């Protein structure tokens, strides 16, 4: 099974900060990685897929990069609405299984 490791688990930041979250895969997943934002009591919201493709309607301050085993989600100029938990997710096309990272909570500094 492919394992996904996110870091950090918690990140303290202020409005206007540039924030970076890292996700590492235990083996190469090419660019088959997505990022989600989740707020308390809500379903996850797709932000980025195929490592760097911004989902329609998602603000351009969100960006993704990486391939292979290391990926990053960057939020430029953090906004009050961005305080949430973020998850990475990979899809293994050989086994047709999906795996999430453990999540990164972005909290107010």
Partner 1 sequence: LQLQESGPGLVKPSGTLSLTCSVSGGSISGSSHHWGWVRQPPGKGLEWIGSSYYAGTTYYNPSLKSRVTVSVDTSKNQFSLKLTSVTAADTAVYYCARQTPSVAHIKDWGQGTLVTVSS
Q: Which stretches of the chain bind partner 1, using CB under 8 A? A: 1, 32-34, 36, 38, 43-44, 46, 49-50, 53, 55, 87, 89-91, 93, 95-103
Return the number of the residue (79 or 102) whose C-beta is nearest partner 1: 102
Burial 56-86 (b: 16+ CB within 10 A, else e): eebeeebbbebeebebbbebeebeeebebbb
Smallest separation (angstroms) from partner 1 to the CB of 79: 22
Smallest separation (angstroms) from partner 1 to the CB of 100: 4
Smallest separation (angstroms) from partner 1 to the CB of 37: 12
Return the number of the residue (16 or 57) whose C-beta is nearest partner 1: 57
């Amino acid at each position: 099974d492919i394992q996904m490791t996110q870091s950090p688990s918690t990140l303290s930041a202020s409005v206007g900060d540039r924030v970076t979250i890292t996700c590492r895969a235990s083996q190469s997943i090419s660019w088959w990685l997505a990022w989600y934002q989740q707020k308390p009591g809500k379903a996850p919201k797709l932000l980025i897929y195929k490592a760097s493709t911004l989902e329609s309607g998602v603000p351009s301050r969100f960006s993704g990069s990486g391939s292979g085993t290391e990926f990053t989600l960057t939020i430029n100029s953090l906004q009050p609405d961005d305080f949430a938990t973020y998850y990475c997710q990979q899809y293994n096309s050989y086994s047709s299984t999906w795996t999430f990272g453990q999540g990164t909570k972005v909290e107010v500094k």
